[in-house]
Structure 1
């Protein structure tokens, strides 16, 4: 592990890492930026094979000692940097002392659906906080994969990566432009496709019909799913509103539906 400190914010490797905050650079390089102790910790623990570089400031805080230990265990070297250099790399205004550059994993639809019982499909979901929260909820509910389709936000966007708090490294994540291709792959793998949609039937307390393998499809935050997509998906369900709230936001509704399915599948 090198202890030479990189102190030039304009160094080439610093600029290349910082450029990964832009989608164009991520697509061209096949790499993305991971920021903060929690995300880098999960990356080291679960997908160290993806790591190209870890940048970290010096110090003796608990997370720094843990990051050093984990990096040593998986034989990943750490590049020591000044706070100014880390600030130049990070997208956040107040970086937390560590960031990593990692390769975007390549996972096919067929691999993601193979043997799956619960999959979340995000179609035209644009908000990074919503996308990250749904991915995190899918991970917590024991889902087997998360698929981003249509013009959904890039799952490797720094804000999405941060909001997943490491769940991005726990399960397969696939980007597939065509929703029809996603639905076809799901059905070929034996999963029922269900749209989460306010125009669907209300989900009641009896959720035994969610016990089989299911791929939930969540649409755009403002528009939901197009009628043609709802028709091709088949069944549509919505959560009932028992109070005075006008609606539930996408991430909240998705979290409840994923957990309801997880409960039904485990009964």
Structure 2
């Protein structure tokens, strides 16, 4: 931390020292070089990776999981992690060519949620889908072109089932080849004139719909 940051965060510095964490003072120039932000706060920490094995995430019989497939924007990915955390999801899985959860912008967009719930990564999306099914999760694609929507699924009681929501990139969504490998697809009903919802908003609506149904079942 810089001298200015140390003055602003004295309790934090004392706690770190009490926990045996090495604290080093650096110059403002060094802090700027270590930080990825335009206006760094003067605090830099070295942490262990947050991701855990996929098998570990699914071993605990999860009821609600968010799967990111091909999401390359770190801000979107981090925001979905934040949403999943808020909705009480059991885990977030980064599948296929999805951004690294340790990306600085992804971590910042999560506002700390990457430390609150299990994060797993898997290079092969098919491995993720098979593992989720084996864990008793129903794979549901969030697809703006789906025939059924959340309202219909809710009325049928489908949202009470243990679910792994699969979200694609904001620009392209999920490929048809991926949607075809999942159990079903649902869209968020749009009652107004908006063409679509962004990824984080759609994820919030879907995850909260499942969370509410599961809690009220």
Gaps of 5+ in 1: 1-55
Are 1:75 and 2:20 matched, yes or no?
yes
What is the CA-CA distance between 1:103 and the residue it aligns to? 2.5
What is the CA-CA distance between 1:70 and the residue it aligns to? 3.5
In the superposition, the TM-score normalised over structure 1's length comes to: 0.75
What is the CA-CA distance between 1:81 and the residue it aligns to? 1.3
Q: 1:122-133 residue pairs with structure 2 within 5 A?
A: 122-133=68-79
Matching residue of 2:36: 91
Matching residue of 1:236: 185
Q: Cα gap change, 1:197/1:66 in structure 2, threshold over 3 Å: closer, same or farther?
A: farther
Give the alignment partner of residue 166 of structure 1, picking from 112, 124, 131.
112
Instruction: Give the distance between the partners of 1:197 and 1:176, measured in 2 at CA.
Output: 22
What is the CA-CA distance between 1:191 and the residue it aligns to? 0.9
Give the alignment partner of residue 220 of structure 1, picking from 166, 169, 174.
169
Q: 1:14-163 residue pairs with structure 2 within 5 A?
A: 56-59=1-4, 64-114=9-59, 115-163=61-109
Aligned partners of 1:118 and 1:143 also within 8 Å: yes
Whose strand fraction is larger, Structure 1's or Structure 2's? 1
Are 1:181 and 2:127 matched, yes or no?
yes
Quote the RMSD (CA, aligned, Å): 1.7
What is the CA-CA distance between 1:226 and the residue it aligns to? 1.5
Instruction: Give the distance between the partners of 1:253 and 1:196, measured in 2 at CA.
Output: 8
Q: Secondary structure at the match of 2:129?
A: helix
Q: Secondary structure at the match of 1:233?
A: coil
Aligned partners of 2:4 and 2:42 also within 8 Å: no
Matching residue of 1:211: 160
Aligned partners of 1:126 and 1:221 also within 8 Å: no
Count of residues in Structure 1 that have an aligned counterpart in Structure 2? 212
In the superposition, the TM-score normalised over structure 2's length comes to: 0.91
Q: Cα gap change, 1:145/1:79 in structure 2, threshold over 3 Å: closer, same or farther?
A: same
Gaps of 5+ in 2: none
Q: Cα gap change, 1:63/1:204 in structure 2, threshold over 3 Å: closer, same or farther?
A: farther
Alignment deviations for residues 97-134 of structure 1 (CA, whole Å, 9 cap, x no partner): 10112222451111111221111000001111111100
Instruction: Give the distance between the partners of 2:153 and 2:48, measured in 1 at CA.
Output: 43
Runs (4+) off by over 3 Å: 59-63
Instruction: Give the distance between the partners of 1:74 and 1:93, measured in 2 at CA.
Output: 30
